[in-house]
Amino acid sequence: MEKVSWKGGALLAPLPAVMVSSGTLEKPNVMTVAWTGIINTQPSKTYISVRKSRYSYDLIKNSGSFVINLVPSTLVKACDFCGVRSGRDIDKFKFCNLTAEASFSVDAPSIAECPLSLECRVSEIIELGSHDMFLADIVSVAVKKDLIDQNGRLALEKAGLLAYVHGEYFTLGKKIGSFGYSVKKKRKPNKVKIDKSKKS
Amino acid sequence: MEKVSWKGGALLAPLPAVMVSSGTLEKPNVMTVAWTGIINTQPSKTYISVRKSRYSYDLIKNSGSFVINLVPSTLVKACDFCGVRSGRDIDKFKFCNLTAEASFSVDAPSIAECPLSLECRVSEIIELGSHDMFLADIVSVAVKKDLIDQNGRLALEKAGLLAYVHGEYFTLGKKIGSFGYSVKKKRKPNKVKIDKSKKS
């Protein structure tokens, strides 16, 4: 076998590295997490896993809300900074030139510079060891208008999001497929030819 | 405000689209999921959220194990296919030219063509609505030898993984930073010069 076996480790990739805002509009905080994902479609549910020691932990636990802000690669430095520095020591919004704005549905503020924000209300906290998992309902989604095309479709590929792979940040590259494309029937190209011949 | 508010939706991105293998080496199955993530570091824990109607659901529930196989962009077509066709109707390993191989630590088989596999043992199942969340311990990780560099470091960036963004598959682009780079002190180039002068 050409594989070796290592002990268990958190080696899932690529992951979203997202900036999670919490607290209030007057006293906002932001931290970066990669331990996040969608856990349910109907109703829409997500989670973030957070160490008890983090400054955001109590802010989220006490208010019951947080916002997951998707991160474009242009904000990679702020994203990284908000994952390694604590809101106990520094105003990360200010330091990173981020703007806190009121969310539509929750008390926790959102980040104006991020293209899409998931506004979340905590439904359950599960202790797992190093981290506690905050399960949450995605109560609404705030989207920058310029990501919505003329047909009302979300063109999220235009957001230039970053991906996190085993301690490194990457841009997204080229599109290589769409959900379901592997089973789509191809249109027969000769149909067009036949139509043409009819016209001539 | 330049944002509009939509009702809650599963709009987290980018996500890993992973091929989850289950069953046995003799009768393996594989399905693709994007509802996955790391939920705890110590001990390493992950999850997948699965609809009860899926063929893999009972396989995983009954055996208590599954394997998350990371997907390189070269396997995008198989990855997509395994997300839209059911193992009830077709042998997806065979159809997609995938090879089931024995895992190191769990009964569920792994996919030989995938560069890294997380071998998982289910610890809890939580019903959430459309999906059930399978919480699991990552009991071991199988890594292709050619992803391990001469220092024993995992060079996961060489795996050419794909990312899933709102119904579309993307390659990863260029590296734009490493965890902690925003706060790293730059080495002063003249320090090297001083050390050199001491020696001479």
Give me the CATH number covering residue A162: 2.30.110.10
pLDDT, average across residues A158-175: 98
Give the sign of the dihedral formed by CA B39, CA B29, CA B156, CA A156: negative
Residue A47 clears pLDDT 80, i.e. is over it: yes
The answer to whether position A7 is within a domain reads no
pLDDT for position B140: 98
Work out the mean pLDDT of chain B and round it to a whole number: 94
Q: Which two tokens stand for residue A7?
A: 């002990």
Note whether A130 contacts B: Cβ–Cβ < 8 A.
yes
* Chain segment B133-160, per-residue pLDDT in tens: 999 999 999 999 999 999 999 999 999 9
The answer to whether position B144 is within a domain reads yes
- Radius of gyration from C-alpha coordinates of chain B: 21
Q: How many domains does chain A have?
A: 1
Residue B199 clears pLDDT 50, i.e. is over it: no
pLDDT for position A186: 73
Contact call for residues A168 and A179 (beta carbons, < 8 A): no
Note whether B144 contacts A: Cβ–Cβ < 8 A.
yes
User: Quick one: pLDDT band at residue B190, thresholds 50, 70, 90?
Assistant: low
Contact call for residues B147 and B155 (beta carbons, < 8 A): yes
Note whether A180 contacts B: Cβ–Cβ < 8 A.
yes
pLDDT for position A84: 96
User: Quick one: pLDDT band at residue B200, thresholds 50, 70, 90?
Assistant: very low
pLDDT for position A185: 83
Q: Which of A4, A30, A36, A38 is best to mutate for the B interface (most B CBs within 10 A)?
A: A38
The answer to whether position A6 is within a domain reads no
Is the ipTM of this structure higher than 0.85? yes
Contact call for residues A143 and A115 (beta carbons, < 8 A): yes
Judge: A129–B84 Cβ closer than 8 Å, yes or no.
no
Note whether B185 contacts A: Cβ–Cβ < 8 A.
no
The answer to whether position B187 is within a domain reads yes
Residue B42 main-chain phi, psi, to 5 deg = -125, 105
Residue A194 clears pLDDT 90, i.e. is over it: no
Q: Name the residue range of residue B190's domain.
A: 18-199
Q: Which residues of B fall within a CB distance of 8 Å from A46?
A: 10, 12
Give the sign of the dihedral formed by CA B154, CA A166, CA B73, CA A74: negative
Distance of CA A136 to the CA centre of its chain: 14
Judge: B12–A118 Cβ closer than 8 Å, yes or no.
yes
Residues pairing with A68 in the sheet: A20, A118
DSSP string, A122-188: EEEEEE-SSEEEEEEEEEEEEEEGGGB-TTS-B-GGGG-BEEEETTEEEEEEEEEEETTGGGPPPPP
The answer to whether position A10 is within a domain reads no
The answer to whether position A169 is within a domain reads yes
Judge: A38–B173 Cβ closer than 8 Å, yes or no.
no
The answer to whether position A72 is within a domain reads yes
pLDDT for position B191: 53
The answer to whether position A9 is within a domain reads no
* Chain segment B87-129, per-residue pLDDT in tens: 999 999 999 999 999 999 999 999 999 999 999 999 999 999 9
Residues pairing with B32 in the sheet: B19
pTM for the model: 0.93
Residue B65 clears pLDDT 80, i.e. is over it: yes
* Chain segment A102-134, per-residue pLDDT in tens: 999 999 999 999 999 999 999 999 999 999 999
Length of chain A: 200
